[in-house]
Amino acid sequence: MRVVLDTNVWVSGLAFPEGPPGRIVDAVRTGRIRALASWSLAEEIVDVLQRPAIRDLGITGEIVVEVLLLIAPCLPGVESSVPVRDPGDSRVVASALESGAEVIVTGDRDLLDDRPLRALLAEKGIEVLAPAVFLRRLGA
Protein backbone atom coordinates (compact mmCIF):
# COMPACT_ATOMS: atom_id res chain seq x y z
CA MET A 1 0.00 0.00 0.00
CA ARG A 2 1.29 3.46 -0.94
CA VAL A 3 0.89 5.91 1.95
CA VAL A 4 1.88 9.47 2.79
CA LEU A 5 2.61 9.82 6.50
CA ASP A 6 2.15 13.29 7.92
CA THR A 7 5.07 14.66 9.93
CA ASN A 8 3.12 14.22 13.17
CA VAL A 9 2.85 10.47 12.47
CA TRP A 10 6.61 10.15 11.87
CA VAL A 11 7.42 12.06 15.07
CA SER A 12 4.91 10.19 17.24
CA GLY A 13 5.88 6.88 15.69
CA LEU A 14 9.58 7.36 16.33
CA ALA A 15 9.10 8.74 19.84
CA PHE A 16 6.47 6.21 20.94
CA PRO A 17 7.03 2.97 19.01
CA GLU A 18 4.32 1.03 20.86
CA GLY A 19 1.45 3.34 19.84
CA PRO A 20 -0.46 3.34 16.54
CA PRO A 21 1.97 5.74 14.79
CA GLY A 22 4.91 3.60 15.98
CA ARG A 23 3.34 0.49 14.54
CA ILE A 24 2.81 2.33 11.25
CA VAL A 25 6.47 3.42 11.13
CA ASP A 26 7.40 -0.22 11.82
CA ALA A 27 5.21 -1.28 8.87
CA VAL A 28 7.26 1.09 6.70
CA ARG A 29 10.53 -0.32 8.05
CA THR A 30 9.45 -3.90 7.35
CA GLY A 31 8.07 -3.12 3.89
CA ARG A 32 4.38 -3.80 4.66
CA ILE A 33 3.58 -0.32 3.41
CA ARG A 34 5.51 2.08 1.19
CA ALA A 35 5.93 5.58 2.57
CA LEU A 36 5.71 8.32 -0.04
CA ALA A 37 6.72 11.97 0.27
CA SER A 38 7.93 15.04 -1.61
CA TRP A 39 11.08 17.08 -1.10
CA SER A 40 9.15 19.75 0.81
CA LEU A 41 7.58 17.16 3.10
CA ALA A 42 10.99 15.52 3.65
CA GLU A 43 12.44 18.92 4.55
CA GLU A 44 9.64 19.47 7.08
CA ILE A 45 10.16 16.01 8.59
CA VAL A 46 13.90 16.59 8.98
CA ASP A 47 13.35 20.08 10.40
CA VAL A 48 10.88 18.84 13.01
CA LEU A 49 12.93 15.76 13.94
CA GLN A 50 15.97 17.96 14.60
CA ARG A 51 14.20 20.31 17.02
CA PRO A 52 15.57 20.20 20.58
CA ALA A 53 12.22 19.19 22.09
CA ILE A 54 12.01 16.25 19.68
CA ARG A 55 15.64 15.27 20.34
CA ASP A 56 14.70 15.13 24.03
CA LEU A 57 12.31 12.30 23.09
CA GLY A 58 15.31 10.19 22.07
CA ILE A 59 15.18 10.75 18.32
CA THR A 60 18.81 10.73 17.20
CA GLY A 61 20.54 11.83 14.03
CA GLU A 62 20.76 8.19 13.00
CA ILE A 63 16.98 7.90 13.19
CA VAL A 64 16.57 11.01 11.03
CA VAL A 65 18.89 9.46 8.42
CA GLU A 66 16.89 6.22 8.56
CA VAL A 67 13.65 8.11 7.86
CA LEU A 68 15.24 9.85 4.88
CA LEU A 69 16.45 6.52 3.51
CA LEU A 70 12.95 5.11 3.82
CA ILE A 71 11.36 7.92 1.81
CA ALA A 72 14.23 8.87 -0.51
CA PRO A 73 13.23 6.64 -3.44
CA CYS A 74 10.03 8.63 -3.98
CA LEU A 75 10.90 12.29 -3.57
CA PRO A 76 9.48 14.22 -6.52
CA GLY A 77 9.18 17.98 -6.36
CA VAL A 78 5.49 18.82 -6.12
CA GLU A 79 3.22 21.80 -5.90
CA SER A 80 -0.46 21.79 -5.05
CA SER A 81 -3.22 24.28 -5.63
CA VAL A 82 -5.68 22.23 -3.57
CA PRO A 83 -7.20 24.46 -0.86
CA VAL A 84 -6.41 23.32 2.69
CA ARG A 85 -7.31 24.85 6.06
CA ASP A 86 -3.67 25.05 7.16
CA PRO A 87 -1.32 26.08 4.34
CA GLY A 88 1.41 24.00 6.00
CA ASP A 89 -0.62 20.90 5.17
CA SER A 90 -0.39 21.52 1.43
CA ARG A 91 2.92 19.62 1.21
CA VAL A 92 1.26 16.48 2.59
CA VAL A 93 -1.66 16.75 0.18
CA ALA A 94 0.64 17.52 -2.76
CA SER A 95 2.82 14.52 -1.90
CA ALA A 96 -0.21 12.23 -1.93
CA LEU A 97 -1.54 13.61 -5.21
CA GLU A 98 1.79 13.53 -7.03
CA SER A 99 2.90 10.10 -5.83
CA GLY A 100 -0.36 8.25 -6.39
CA ALA A 101 -0.81 7.47 -2.70
CA GLU A 102 -3.86 5.56 -1.57
CA VAL A 103 -3.88 7.00 1.95
CA ILE A 104 -2.71 10.00 3.94
CA VAL A 105 -2.13 8.98 7.56
CA THR A 106 -2.31 11.93 9.94
CA GLY A 107 -3.26 13.00 13.42
CA ASP A 108 -3.87 16.56 12.17
CA ARG A 109 -7.50 17.56 12.74
CA ASP A 110 -7.25 20.16 9.95
CA LEU A 111 -6.83 17.30 7.47
CA LEU A 112 -9.04 14.75 9.21
CA ASP A 113 -12.02 17.11 9.66
CA ASP A 114 -11.88 18.98 6.34
CA ARG A 115 -14.84 17.38 4.51
CA PRO A 116 -14.39 19.27 1.20
CA LEU A 117 -10.72 18.30 1.08
CA ARG A 118 -11.48 14.68 1.94
CA ALA A 119 -14.15 14.56 -0.78
CA LEU A 120 -11.75 15.99 -3.35
CA LEU A 121 -9.06 13.48 -2.35
CA ALA A 122 -11.59 10.62 -2.39
CA GLU A 123 -12.39 11.48 -6.02
CA LYS A 124 -8.71 10.84 -6.71
CA GLY A 125 -8.71 7.57 -4.75
CA ILE A 126 -6.98 8.94 -1.64
CA GLU A 127 -8.33 8.45 1.87
CA VAL A 128 -7.36 10.53 4.91
CA LEU A 129 -7.12 8.32 7.99
CA ALA A 130 -6.04 8.65 11.62
CA PRO A 131 -3.22 6.28 12.64
CA ALA A 132 -5.46 3.94 14.67
CA VAL A 133 -7.99 3.67 11.83
CA PHE A 134 -5.22 2.96 9.34
CA LEU A 135 -3.82 0.20 11.56
CA ARG A 136 -7.23 -1.45 11.75
CA ARG A 137 -7.42 -1.30 7.97
CA LEU A 138 -4.00 -2.98 7.78
CA GLY A 139 -5.17 -5.62 10.21
CA ALA A 140 -2.29 -4.76 12.54
pLDDT in tens, 16-27: 999 999 999 999
Range of the domain at 129: 2-138
How many Å apart are CA 96 and CA 50, to the nearest integer?
24
Q: Is 134 helix (H, G, I), strand (E, B) or coil?
A: helix
Query: What's the CATH code of the domain at 57?
Result: 3.40.50.1010
- Residue 103's DSSP bridge partners are 3, 127
Counting Cβ atoms within 10 Å, is residue 33 exposed (0-12), middle (13-18) or buried (19+)?
buried
What are the pLDDT digits (tens) for 48-67?
988 999 888 888 888 888 88
Number of domains in the chain: 1
Residues in the chain: 140
pTM for this entry:
0.67
Give me the pLDDT at residue 49, please. Answer: 86
- Rg of the chain over Cα atoms, rounded to whole angstroms, equals 14
